[in-house]
Amino acid sequence: MSARREHPLPPSHLVRPAALDGRHFSTLVIGGGINGVGVFRDLSLQGVDCLLVDKGDFSSGATSAPSRMIHGGLRYLEGGAFSMVAEATRERNRLLRNAPHLVRPLETLVPLSSRYGGLLSSMLRFTGLKAGSQPRGLFVVQLGLRLYDLLGRRQRQMPTHRIEQVSHDDAGLLRTSVRWTATYFDAWIRHPEWLVLELLEDAWRDQSQSVAANYCRLIRVEGRTAVLRDEVTGVLARVTADTMVNATGAWLDQTSAALAGERDRIIGTKGSHLVLDHPELREALKGRMIYFEAADGRVCIVYPFLDRVLIGSTDIPVTDPDQVHTEPAEITYLLDALRELFPRLHFAQEQVVYTYVGVRPLGRAPADSPGRISRDHSVVVEPANETRRLPLISLVGGKWTTFRSLAEQAADEVLHQLGRARLRSTSDIAVGGGAGYPSDERILERLLSRVGAALRSPQRAATLVERYGSRAVALAERFAAAGDRPLRHHPGYSVAEVDYLCRDTAVVRLTDLVLRRSLLAIRGELHPALLEELADLAAAALGWDRLRRDAELDACRTVLQQHHHARFGPPGAQAGTPAGASLAPSAPPTIQPLAT
């Protein structure tokens, strides 16, 4: 192994590339999504000093664009993927226990219209044969749910499924053909990007020499030296490492090519989601997710998401993960699926307040449709070569729910390459604000009382506990010391809170604050005056001059409008798309390097 070079770092786990120049790390992790951060956190727990870099913001790829479900993958049982579903249900249960402030149980309803529908096609798929698309009936779904209950019974006792016959009066707003409903439980995550940031901080607490840098692109590898570039300033930095991890998801093959590694391991499929401002639909859902089949057989989900409704998703093969948008046809497809399921409700494009899309990094495998490609994962070790004189560990495939187990598998390979032993498993360690989170209502009331005492506002206390879990106490004291004055244009956030997010969570661009550090964009709560206020606060916290502040504001507006179909009205107006407005995406914005 290379000798360690002493080179002091700033007292933080989140740094800029210039601070890294000349450093040596035992492991360099490329990719700041959930899988890369999971490896970073696991290795740091073992005492391994790691550097994690991402060419964009942390979580800015598929990690920030899931259906926000934490689930076992009920539909994969049809393909015989029992071990994958068992793993996913175990990891779902662990997240419910380890991150209870962000991951919550979700009652899920499956509407059924026939008794034996889809039986033959399901049998054919189970045996590996091609089969046409047929709506699944009561028998197939009930069998699948029995297996699902069995596989997910360990570690947390989720309620078993139930089947109920539906009378015409009880059917509510569902299509009249529905004769039964099957109900079971999975989970959902409120703010996935925040869990990633908590994992980064947890890693640093375990290993103070582990650091992470966003907007830091790997340019090339020369022997054991990695050349990195700051994507904001253009400054280059060189670091050395003993091992390297490729956790770039949909960009895996591109990264491997740059590292003289193997290619053609990944096929990307994009999944688009819509967020609707539709109070009538939200009320009809009664706090439940509905898991249903669209007319073409594609499985879709719709559920209440905060004070909105989330629906997803499409599954379309793509070749370039940097050039994906939610196309108008996808919006039409998802709205049509809702119209078919809820024929008595009205759905229109102006109800869409936000769209987002991510590219699933699926391992290449033969399949008759993108939805049939396995969501399983693997870890591949590529030995050193003449160009790259250090081993490369690549993470192939995977899904959000199973990030911890995939990270553990990859970390074990890294430890093997380093000749080090595992010290501890991450399986039972709470994440971030999940540590010490109340286990019952009585203890929760005490936490709320402590936070409320610092802020003198029970409502504000509830908001902070919901966002930050057990860490709300320390944050409330920090915000109170600064006055905790609410924003002029959004009382749910304070000036002190936005200042904290900018200074302490590696905000580099205004989009980081708006899209990933807060839930303002996805909830459709943005308007011009609020965006201006956020730009002013970010500029004050990060030392931007007027030119940089205006450039960030323009770039943020462009991203919101072209990538998320956001339209800004006056303060208080909804940020949905006006009737008749074009939803055709433009080319993605180019953000040039800016002076700091």
The span from the first CA to the last CA of the chain, in angstroms, equals 36
pLDDT, tens only, 333-365: 999 999 999 999 999 999 999 999 999 888 765
How far is residue 291's CA from residue 136's CA, in Å, rounded to a whole number? 12
Say what the pLDDT of residue 387 is.
83
Give, in degrees to the nearest 5, the angle at Cα 504 between 501 and 507.
60
pLDDT, tens only, 50-79: 999 999 999 999 999 999 999 988 887 776
Average pLDDT, the chain: 86
Task: Kindly state the tokens that stand for 560.
Answer: 């919101």
Using the predicted structure, report yes or no on whether residue 81 has a pLDDT greater than 80.
no
The 3-state secondary structure of 387-429, one letter per residue:
CECCCEEEEEECCHHHHHHHHHHHHHHHHHHHCCCCCCCCCCC
Say what the pLDDT of residue 230 is.
96
Regarding predicted confidence, which is higher, 119 or 8? 119
Architecture of 98-189+268-367 per CATH? 2-Layer Sandwich (3.30)
- Describe the chain by its helix, strand, coil percentages, rounded to 5: 40, 20, 40
pTM of the predicted model over 0.85: yes
Domain 17-62+193-265+375-418 fold: FAD/NAD(P)-binding domain (3.50.50)
Using the predicted structure, report yes or no on whether residue 480 has a pLDDT greater than 50.
yes
**Nearest to 324, CA basis, from 364, 269, 257:** 269
At 417 the three-state DSSP class reads helix
Using the predicted structure, report yes or no on whether residue 581 has a pLDDT greater than 60.
no
Using the predicted structure, report yes or no on whether residue 559 has a pLDDT greater than 80.
yes
pLDDT > 90: what percent of the chain? 65
pLDDT, tens only, 94-140: 999 999 999 999 999 999 988 766 555 555 555 555 655 667 778 88
The 3-state secondary structure of 104-149, one letter per residue:
EEEEEEEEECCCCCCHHHHHHHHCCCCCCCCCCCHHHHHHHHHHHH
Taking the domains of the chain in order of start, what are their residue ranges? 17-62+193-265+375-418, 98-189+268-367, 438-564
**Mean pLDDT across the stretch 291-315?**
92
pLDDT, tens only, 380-394: 898 888 888 899 999
How far is residue 335's CA from residue 348's CA, in Å, rounded to a whole number? 7
**Nearest to 500, CA basis, from 515, 513, 488, 489:** 513
Omega before 313 cis (within 30°)?
A: yes
How far is residue 311's CA from residue 334's CA, in Å, rounded to a whole number? 7
Regarding predicted confidence, which is higher, 548 or 148? 548
- The segment with the largest mean pLDDT, out of 153-157, 411-415, 573-577, is 411-415
Is there a contact between 58 and 354 (Cβ–Cβ < 8 Å)? no
17-62+193-265+375-418 with 98-189+268-367: one CATH topology?
A: no
State the sign of the Cα–Cα–Cα–Cα dihedral 336, 337, 341, 345: negative
User: For residue 156, with 0-12 CB atoms within 10 Å meaning exposed, 13-18 middle and 19 or more buried, which class applies?
Assistant: middle
Say what the pLDDT of residue 459 is.
93
Angle between helices 82-98 and 403-418 (to 10 degrees): 100
Regarding predicted confidence, which is higher, 296 or 11? 296
**What Å distances lie between residue 33 and 38, 57, 183, 295, CA to CA?**
8, 9, 32, 33
Say what the pLDDT of residue 448 is.
95
**What Å distances lie between residue 426 and 53, 68, 429, CA to CA?**
22, 22, 5
Length of the chain: 596
Say what the pLDDT of residue 576 is.
37
Regarding predicted confidence, which is higher, 263 or 318? 318
Is there a contact between 285 and 309 (Cβ–Cβ < 8 Å)? yes
Say what the pLDDT of residue 14 is.
87
Longest dimension (CA), the chain: 74
